[in-house]
Structure 1
Amino acid sequence: MQVDRIVETIIYLYTESRRLTKEQAARHGLTGPQLSVAKILEDLGDLSLSELSEKINAQNSTVTGIVDRMEREGLVERKRSSDDRRVVHIRLTRKGHELARSLNFEPFEIFRSAFERALTREELGQLLTLLDKITTYVRKEVQRGDDEAAS
């Protein structure tokens, strides 16, 4: 069935992305989530813990643990917001910047290259529209499940 093949393909792409990320992270003495945090902070600059949690799709408590370990390694530091003392921003240290710059985020580059080479600009637009539609539906279903579990 077509839907099954689509789901299998998405799972394959996700699994390969995780495997490649884990392998690359291990070569640099990091975990996959630490590698993701380093690249996100390198690309976007300082982020609050909540913003970072949203970017890597993880709970604040999970990201706190990741940041704690990276801070002990001297890769990131916490800085309180001057606007709102309750907000803590996470930033890369010099060591963290050097590490992040040295990382070629292989999964991202592999998939980017595959999409650019295999699909036309029009097909990319269509794919994005379809994926956005599926993502919106899944988010609603997850939220509905969370709401039902909370009641």
Structure 2
Amino acid sequence: MNEQQRVMQIFQAYREVNQAFFQVMAKVAQKHGLTPLQLIVLRILKEFPDIKLMELSDKLNLGNSTTSGIVDRMVKAGIITRERTESDRRAMTLKLSDKGTTLWEESNDMRLMLLRPLLGLSEEDQQQFHRIQTEILTILKTIKGDVLHD
């Protein structure tokens, strides 16, 4: 196998795994009347309650206006709430509503149930996978840094 074929094999394998994970996430989101992106917002808000819009945008790697549109729809649906901060009355923080918390818990339980078969991998295979993934991420981050600095 030549260099190009080897690189493409690695790339294709990651692409297929990523698509499969996305399909599971999309199935879970759809089952709960959400989009996959809204499901990610729920996870972030669960992990970072009282997050500001700009911080959420950063975590989603989206612009503020795009994130604002997503948040507006989720507020309208009663899934998340906006609250003014005590320190700066102009600033708003986001958090899960009770409905949002329930949606997150139900969807996360379903996601974990669907992904549970991954635990069939031996601990050794999981460790190897993690080691290889870490190496690949290190390489890709180096490439990304090189490309940005050219």
Moved more, 57-66 or 33-42: 57-66
Aligned residue in 2 for 1:119: 122
For the residue of structure 2 that corresponds to 1:137, the secondary structure is helix
Find 2:68's aligned residue among 47, 64, 75. 64
For 1:109 and 1:56, locate their aligned partners in 2 and report how far apart those are by CA, in whole Å: 25
Tell me: CA distance 1:75–1:113, structure 2 relative to 1, closer, same or farther (3 Å): same
Q: TM-score, normalised by structure 1?
A: 0.74
In the alignment, residue 130 of structure 1 is paired with which amino acid?
Answer: I
From the superposition, tell whether residues 89 and 12 of structure 1 become closer, same or farther in structure 2 (CA, over 3 Å).
same
Measured against aligned partners, the alpha-carbon deviations of 1:82-137 in whole angstroms (never above 9, x if no partner) come to: 345565321011111122122136556545641x32132x5434433332332233
- What is the Cα-based RMSD across aligned positions, in Å? 2.8
Match of 2:50 in 1: 46
Partner of 1:32: 36
- Judge conservation of contact 2:24–2:114 (CA < 8 Å) in 1: no
Q: After the TM superposition, which of the residue ranges 24-33 and 76-85 deviates more from structure 2?
A: 76-85
Q: How many residues align?
A: 146
The verdict on how the C-alpha distance between 1:131 and 1:50 changes in structure 2, with shifts beyond 3 A counting, is farther
Bigger Cα Rg: 2
What is the alpha-carbon distance in structure 1 between the residues aligned to residue 104 and residue 116 of structure 2? Answer: 19
Structure 1 residue ranges without an equivalent (≥5) = none
TM normalised by structure 2 equals 0.74
Q: Which residue of 2 aligns with 1:91?
A: 95
Q: What code does the residue aligned with 2:13 have?
A: T
Find the residue that maps to 2:82 and give its secondary structure: strand
